[in-house]
Chains A and B, each alone.
Chain A
Amino acid sequence: MNILVCISSVPDTTSKINFVDNDSKFDINGVQFIINPNDEFGLTKAVWMKQSNNASVTVLTVGEASVETTLRKCLAIGADKAIRIDCLPKDGYSVAKEIESHCNDVSYDIIICGRESIDYNGGIVPGLLAGFLDYNFVTNCVDLNVDGKKAVFSREMSGGTEISECELPLVVGSQKGLVEEKDLIIPNMRGIMMARQKPLDVITAKGISSLTEDKKFIKPEPKSEVKLVKANELDQLIDLLENEAKVI
C-alpha cells in the first residue's frame, strides 16, 4: 500500500506573527518552522501503517528549498521517501493542483493531509484534492483502520462522532485523536542518521496560477486593559456581562 502524507511547514506555535512589504507578506525573520501539528498526527499514523499494513510512506511538500529541513524531520520520524514540489505556495487551490498533478503520475491508496494548517489555516487543501481526484474523503479524522482495499474510520462532527467505511483510495484530514499526543514519534539519533540516506526528490512545479491572493494582512487591535472584579463582588461581574457587554 502506498501512503502519501502532505506536509505543511508552518511557523512554530509560539511565533510572533508580523508582516513585511506593506503588510503583504509574512515576516519569516527569526521564525522557526515546524511540521504542521495536524500533519504530525497523520504522519505518525502513516508510519505505524508501515508495520500494520505493509505500507510505504512518502511525504510531500509544495515549497521552496527552505522546507527541506522539515521534510528531513519527517524522514527521521519514519517516512521512506520525500518529495518537494519546487515553488512558493500561493494559495490552497494551486497547492492542491500541484499535488493532484503528482498523484496523477504516482498513485496512492491513501493521502493524508492535516485537517487544516495553523498558518493560512483554511482547511482547504485536503477537500480540494479529494474533489479533484474524485477520491473518497474524510476530515477531522480521529480513527482509521485499513484492511485490504477497505477503510473504516471515524470523524469528529458537531456533537458526536461518525463511524463509516469506504473503499480506497481515500483522502484523510488528520488531527489529534488519530493518534494520541503521547504517541507522536519523536526522531531519535538513529532515525536522524537514516534520514540522511533516504531519497528527497525535487519535482518541477506545473506553475498553476492561484485563485485567491492575500492582499494585505492586518494585526488585531491591541486589547484594552482587563477590568478586574473582586472575588467577593461577583454581582458586579454579572452586571457587567449583562449590561455592559450584553452577552448573558
Chain B
Amino acid sequence: MTWLDLLIAVACVAGVLGFISVVALVAIWTERKISAHIHDRLGPMETGGFHGWAQTIADMVKLLQKEDIIPDAADKPLFKLAPYIVLSATIASFVVLPFGAHLIGTDLNIGIYYLVAISSLEVAGILMAGWASNNKWALFGGMRSASQMISFEIPIGLSLLIPIMIVGSLSMQDLVGAQAGGFWNWGVFSHLPFAMIAFIVYFWASLAEVNRTPFDLPEGESELVAGFHVEYSGMRFAMFFLAEFANMFLVAGVAVALFLGGWHAPFSFLEISAESNVILHNLVGFFWFASKGMVLLFIQQWLRWTLPRLRVDQLMHVCWKIFLPFSFVNVLIVSLWIVLTQS
C-alpha cells in the first residue's frame, strides 16, 4: 500500500459522499412530490421555480444553520458519535457498489459479503442513538429498528445467495459481468422462477432493512414521534436523514447489481463497447445503473405512500414464517439445479 493508493482511496470516498448527497437531495424532493401526488396535492411548488426543485437544498441550508441541541439527560459522547457511525457504515458499503465497468471503489473478492457485513454495523449506531438519547420513544425506535434489521438480514442473505451460487463468485464485477448482453440474461430471469422469487424476497426484506413502509415501525410517527432520531436536531439529524436515503439507494443498487443487470443496458445496442471509448462506456454504464436504481427507489416511495404500517407481530410473522421458508426452499432447489446441470 503506497501513498498513491491512499490518495485514490480518499478520492473514492469523496466521490461516494458527493454521489449520496446528490441522490439524497433528489430522492427527498421526489419523495415529497410523489407523496403529494398520491395524496392528490401538489407538494413544494415555490422554491427554485420549476415544481419547487430547490426545496431540499433550502432545507439543507436551514439544517446547517440550526442549533445542535444535546439533551441534558443524554449520554453525551454516545449521542454525538451515533450519527457518524451510521453515516460512515453507509459510505463504507457504497465502496463496493459497481457504478460502471471501472467506476467501482474497489472490486473486493468478497464484495457482496463485505457489503452485508459492513452495513450490519449500522445497527450499532442506531441502537447507540436510541439509547444515548435517554428518551423512551427513541429507545423503542432503536430497539425495533435493531430487532427488525437483524431478523430481515437472514432472508436477505439467503436470497442474495441465489445469484452468488449461479455465478459462482462473490465479487461484484463478476456478478454484473455474468448478466451481459440483453435483459433476458439478467439475474432475475435465470433459473426461472427461482431467481425471481429471490429478487422479490430481497426487495421486500430490504424495505424492512432500511425502515421503509410497510415496515417503518422504528419511525412510526403516530406512535413514536420519530423513532431513534427524535432528540436529534440540526446537522446530526441531517446526517441520519442522509444515511437513510443513501441506504435506500444502496439496497436498490444491490438489487440492480445482482438481479437487474447492473450497469448493462437492457439491449446490448444501447451500450458503447469498452474498446471504442472507455470513458463513454463507463458513463453510459453509470447512466443505466443510476436509472435502474432510481426506478427501484420510486417503487419504494410508491409503496410507502400506498400501504399501511404492519404491527410488530405481523412483521416478525412475515420474516420468520413466510420469507425464511421460501428462501430456504429456494436455496435448496437452486443448488440442486446447479449440481444436476453441472455434472
Partners in one complex: no
Binding site for B on A (CB under 8 A): none
Binding site for A on B (CB under 8 A): none
